[in-house]
Amino acid sequence: MNDQPLFGRVVLVSGPESLLAERAVERLVRQALAERPAASVTKVEAGDLDAGGLAEVTGGSLFAEESVVVVQQLSDLDPGLFDAVLAFVSDPSEELALVLVHPGGVKGRGLLDKLKKARIEVVDCPTIKAWELPQFAAAEARLLGGRIDRATADRLVEALGADVRAVAGAVRQLLADADDRVISEAAVRRYFAGRADVTSFTVADHVMAGRRNEALGALRWALETGVAPVLVTSALANALRAQGRYTDFVGQRMRDVDLARDLGVPPFKVKEIVQRSRDWTPRGLASSLKLVAETDAAVKGQAADPSFALERMVMGVAGLRGRRPDSGMGR
């Protein structure tokens, strides 16, 4: 982040990863208050602003004194106010530190592009992909003065799924209880046993490997322990899509980390996908995805018994897996 004074400047925090955006805003506010401790701090929603409110925020009588203002959800700003925002950006008040927060996406994109062309400081907050989460967990541990090795980080992500906030919170919790500030795999298993041992991802893994009985047992236990049915359909759909994407990379020599990025999975999943590639035909994957989509609709309200629909899906998808005598797939 730029270490120039924040007062008299505008900073744009942009991107869909809300945790990173929140942290960026917190850092900017702290920096501004370190510069001018007596400044007031105000957070407003862009959608609540009209012309008068925007004028007050950017230098009207309400904010005559030094102030730090954070405008959230810039995508909701009235398009009629775009020019006013751009005018302020070109000549900001020396008594104001203004932070604009945009969640990314197409809404309000015109203003976003013009702000970036104005060469104001931009803090990017991109989505943290599934394959990046173990690395994110390790970075979180270092940030908190601790450590987690790659295998343990993989296990933690496997337990929690692609939930950035859950991973960040788990790292903080585990480090708080680790006397040596090192997160062990045993601690991950102890704290997240219910989730790590039987989750929607575990069900999907059993299905993709053709282990019907194990998949059914894992499914029943997962549902009993509170796993939402839609998480099961989502996990299996993601597994099938990743398996299908792998066919585009057959024969290419790639590092696991690069392949994981292109497949959209954590690196520890790559070996499983490669090993299973001989057991899935394009037709089998397509038929399975169709069945999963039908089941997803069912568990969202079109079926009287979601658990029965899920069991039928598990049996059906596992049955569509079949070994081919000469697939030519593998690395």
pLDDT band for position 251 (cuts 50, 70, 90): low
Least confident of 50-54, 160-164, 233-237: 160-164
pLDDT for residue 302: 64
The answer to whether 309 and 302 are in contact (CB under 8 A) is: no
Q: Find, among 38, 46, 52, the residue nearest to 98 by Cα.
A: 46
Q: Is 263 a residue whose pLDDT tops 70?
A: yes
Residue 153 neighbours by CB distance under 10 Å: 26
pTM: predicted TM-score of the whole model, two decimal places? 0.62
Quote the pLDDT of residue 106.
84
Q: Check pLDDT > 80 for residue 221.
A: no
pLDDT at 53 over 70: yes
Q: Which of 18-27, 105-114, 243-252 has the lowest mean pLDDT?
A: 243-252
What letters, b where the CB count within 10 A reaches 16 and e where it falls short, cover 198-224?
bbbbbbbbbbbbbebebbbebbeebbe
- The predicted pLDDT at position 167 comes to 87
pLDDT classification of 17: cutoffs 50, 70, 90? very high
Give the pLDDT confidence score for residue 201 in this predicted structure: 81
Please give the backbone phi and psi of residue 255, each rounded to the nearest 5 degrees, phi first.
-70, 150
In the chain the domains, ranked by start, together with CATH numbers, are: 9-124 (3.40.50.300), 130-195 (1.10.8.60), 198-319 (1.20.272.10)
| Mean pLDDT on 59-63 | 51
Q: In this predicted structure, what is the pLDDT of residue 202? A: 83
Q: What's residue 198's pLDDT? A: 56
